[in-house]
Amino acid sequence: MKSRSTSNTERIDVQTMSDAWRQYVEARHNLNRRGVTRSNRAPETDLTELLVATALNGRVMENRNHPAYDVEAGKFRVQVKSVNKAATNRNGYTVKQTDKGLREVNGASHYAFVWFDDFVPDFVGQDPCDPDRQARSSCARHGA
């Protein structure tokens, strides 16, 4: 079997790589069939929106590329962010100027953050849209 070098100088057998990729594809198709994912984006993105919609008894926006918010729940219009960071990174998500601009366009009223630890949702935080404050102060993952 042919092998290829990886960045950490390990050698990966082509059959092993092929089998692993096949399992990944099967898992992606299974998530899609069950309605957990709805696009070809990173599955964490779709899962994050679904988790927030479920937690808020809301709905994920039909348009997968809605410009300002991802979930509607009553009077809340929520921009959802998934945060996949190393366990040693204690920083939260900084609300960027582009995020603030979106709020003005179509009116997201809140941000929701879902932190992942080893690909498993680990923490959910919510922050009202306050253009003068960064989510790090109230939505940083505490106790990590």
Q: pTM of the entire structure? A: 0.70
The predicted-structure confidence for 23-79, as pLDDT tens digits, reads as follows 999 999 999 999 999 888 889 889 999 999 999 999 998 876 666 788 999 988 888
Cross-strand bridge partners of residue 113: 81, 125
Total structural domains within the chain: 2
Q: Which domain holds residue 24?
A: 1-34
Specify whether 135 is located in the same domain as 98. Answer: yes
Query: Pick the residue with more confidence: 4 or 60?
Result: 60
Specify whether 28 is located in the same domain as 46. Answer: no
Give the domain CATH number at 90.
3.40.1350
State which of 18-32, 71-85, 91-105 shows the largest mean pLDDT.
18-32
The predicted-structure confidence for 63-82, as pLDDT tens digits, reads as follows 766 667 889 999 888 888 88
Q: For 121, list phi and psi in degrees, rounded to 5.
A: -55, 130
Specify whether 20 is located in the same domain as 77. Answer: no
Please report whether residue 4 resides in a domain.
Answer: yes
